[in-house]
């Protein structure tokens, strides 16, 4: 579910089931034209769909981190840390456009980056996501 | 929200186009939710919607050709298909999944894999500890091949209305499970 799908009551009642936070990371540089920025968001939305739908009873999608800059890694790590201190057991950082492999996002439990998946897997993106997420929960 | 079944009592005037809705939807998270709340303040979804059937009203009565009847065995198989749907005022195409098998009497039925706990997607035979069952990766709900709830979930898996025409299996709207009762 998205963060905006919860009311205070429904969150209070069900939070024990939602132990995983999904942080979308758009990775805009600021140089994009308006339509390019919109396309980046649409790619992010389509990639997010693959994660949100099958796991909507356990994963909460938070508002996205939009821009990518010099200190982004530290920033993303800081957000991950805070999200976990608020009670989530797992944080997943997800990007449709930027490679996250080796970027040092060490505070997240899993990074899902579409460019990385496409570069390294012969499997369908969907089944790769499933394997990664379920391995995270079973670890 | 797009995959949920929100029953809106009053449809707002002048429904926005698909594109407007889709943009508004992703702005829900990209801009922090304010736009979505303004646009859809009256219809804040409640959590139970997650487990209600996807198809509703508009989809009622329509059947989609999904699988060749000859290919259906007693082992459930997964089929995906596209369905034009109306979710409140929002027209889109939903990608749906059904697990289809035939029972001992050769009757074909199709289960919806949406877990009746909180709406995650179940898989068939995907937990080695419990062979030949549907298993939910989120909180461990389990179901028999008829969709009967064995753990965690409060109800059996829903099923699709099913029609056999010629050599094909057609699926319609999602309805509460009747297979479990048949066996009892
Ligand atoms: S959503 Fe399936 S067990 Fe909770």
pLDDT tens for residues A21-31?
A: 999 999 999 99
Angle between helices A34-52 and B18-30 (to 10 degrees): 80
ipTM: 0.93
User: Taking 50 as the threshold, does the pLDDT of residue B140 lie above it?
Assistant: yes
User: Taking 50 as the threshold, does the pLDDT of residue A60 lie above it?
Assistant: yes
> Rounded distance, CA A65 to CA A94, Å?
10
Instruction: Decide: B136 in ligand 1 pocket, CB within 6 A.
Output: yes
Instruction: Decide: B138 in ligand 1 pocket, CB within 6 A.
Output: yes
pLDDT tens for residues A42-55?
A: 899 889 999 999 99
- Is the CB of residue A40 less than 8 Å from the CB of residue A24? no
Domains of chain A, earliest start first: 3-137 (3.40.50.10310)
Whole-number percent of chain A with pLDDT over 90: 87
Per-residue pLDDT, B60: 53
Per-residue pLDDT, B24: 52
pLDDT tens for residues A92-101?
A: 999 999 999 8
Per-residue pLDDT, B26: 53
Q: What is the mean pLDDT of residues B60-85?
A: 89
Per-residue pLDDT, A96: 95
Instruction: Give the pLDDT band (50/70/90) at residue B57.
Output: very low
Q: Do B120 and A41 touch (CB under 8 A)?
A: no
Instruction: Give the pLDDT band (50/70/90) at residue B47.
Output: very low
**Highest mean pLDDT of the ranges A133-137, B32-36, B37-41:** A133-137
Instruction: Give the pLDDT band (50/70/90) at residue B83.
Output: confident
CA nearest to A47, candidates A66, A22, A29, A67 = A22
DSSP letter string, A14-39? HGGG--EEEEEEEEE-S---HHHHHH
For residue B31, give both structure tokens. Answer: 């801009």
**Helical segments of B11-102, H only:** 18-30, 34-40
Per-residue pLDDT, A105: 95
Ligand 1, atom 1, residue with closest C-alpha? B118
Greater pLDDT, B89 or A105: A105
Instruction: Decide: B139 in ligand 1 pocket, CB within 6 A.
Output: yes
| Average pLDDT along chain B | 76
Pocket test for ligand 1, best of B127, B153, B158 (most atoms within 8 A of CB): B153
Q: Do B32 and A63 touch (CB under 8 A)?
A: yes
Starting at the edge strand that comes first in sequence, how are the strands of the sheet with B149-151 ordered? B123-124, B134-135, B142-143, B149-151
Residue B92 phi, psi (nearest 5): -160, -175
pLDDT tens for residues B87-107?
A: 666 677 778 999 999 999 999
- Is the CB of residue A53 less than 8 Å from the CB of residue A5? no
Best to test chain B binding among A11, A26, A58, A137 (most B CBs inside 10 Å): A58
| Chain B CA closest to residue A22 | B29
CA nearest to A105, candidates A135, A124, A77 = A77
Greater pLDDT, B126 or A83: A83
User: Taking 90 as the threshold, does the pLDDT of residue B38 lie above it?
Assistant: no
User: Taking 80 as the threshold, does the pLDDT of residue B37 lie above it?
Assistant: no
- Is the CB of residue B156 less than 8 Å from the CB of residue B163? no
User: Could you tell me if A42 lies within 8 Å of chain B, comparing CB atoms?
Assistant: yes
User: Taking 70 as the threshold, does the pLDDT of residue B28 lie above it?
Assistant: no
Cα–Cα separations (whole angstroms), residue B45 to B33, B52, B109, B138? 14, 12, 30, 21
Per-residue pLDDT, B93: 78
Strands B159-165 and A110-113: what pairing? unpaired
Q: Which helix (H) or strand (E) holds B32?
A: none
Contacts of B112 (CB under 8 A, 6+ apart): B53, B54, B96, B97, B98, B157, B158, B159, B160, B174
């Amino acid at each position: 579910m998205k963060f905006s799908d919860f009311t205070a009551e429904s969150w209070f009642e069900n939070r024990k089931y939602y132990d995983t936070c999904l942080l979308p990371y758009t990775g805009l540089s600021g140089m994009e034209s308006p339509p390019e920025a919109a396309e980046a968001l649409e790619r992010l939305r389509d990639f997010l769909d693959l994660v949100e739908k099958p796991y909507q009873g356990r994963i909460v999608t938070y508002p996205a981190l939009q821009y990518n800059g010099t200190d982004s890694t530290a920033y993303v790590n800081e957000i991950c840390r805070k999200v976990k201190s608020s009670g989530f057991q797992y944080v997943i950082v997800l990007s449709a456009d930027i490679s996250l492999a080796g970027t040092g996002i060490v505070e997240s439990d899993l990074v899902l980056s579409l460019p990385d998946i496409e570069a390294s897997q012969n499997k369908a993106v969907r089944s790769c996501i499933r394997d990664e997420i379920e391995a995270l929960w079973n670890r | 929200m797009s995959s949920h079944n929100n029953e809106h009592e009053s449809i707002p005037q002048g429904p926005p186009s698909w594109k407007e809705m889709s943009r508004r939807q992703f702005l829900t998270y990209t801009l922090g939710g304010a736009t979505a709340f303004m646009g859809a303040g009256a219809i804040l979804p409640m959590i139970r919607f997650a487990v209600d059937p996807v198809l509703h009203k508009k989809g009622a009565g329509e059947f989609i050709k999904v699988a060749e009847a000859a290919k259906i065995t007693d082992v459930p198989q997964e089929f995906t298909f596209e369905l034009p749907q109306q979710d409140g005022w929002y027209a889109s195409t939903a990608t749906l999944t059904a697990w289809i098998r035939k029972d001992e009497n050769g009757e074909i039925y199709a289960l919806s894999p949406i877990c009746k706990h909180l709406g995650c997607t179940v898989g068939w035979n995907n937990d080695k500890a419990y062979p030949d069952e549907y298993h939910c990766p989120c909180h461990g709900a389990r179901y028999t091949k008829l969709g009967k709830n064995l753990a965690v979930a409060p109800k059996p898996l829903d099923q699709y209305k099913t029609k056999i025409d010629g050599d094909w299996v057609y699926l319609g709207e999602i309805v509460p499970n009747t297979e479990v009762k048949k066996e009892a």
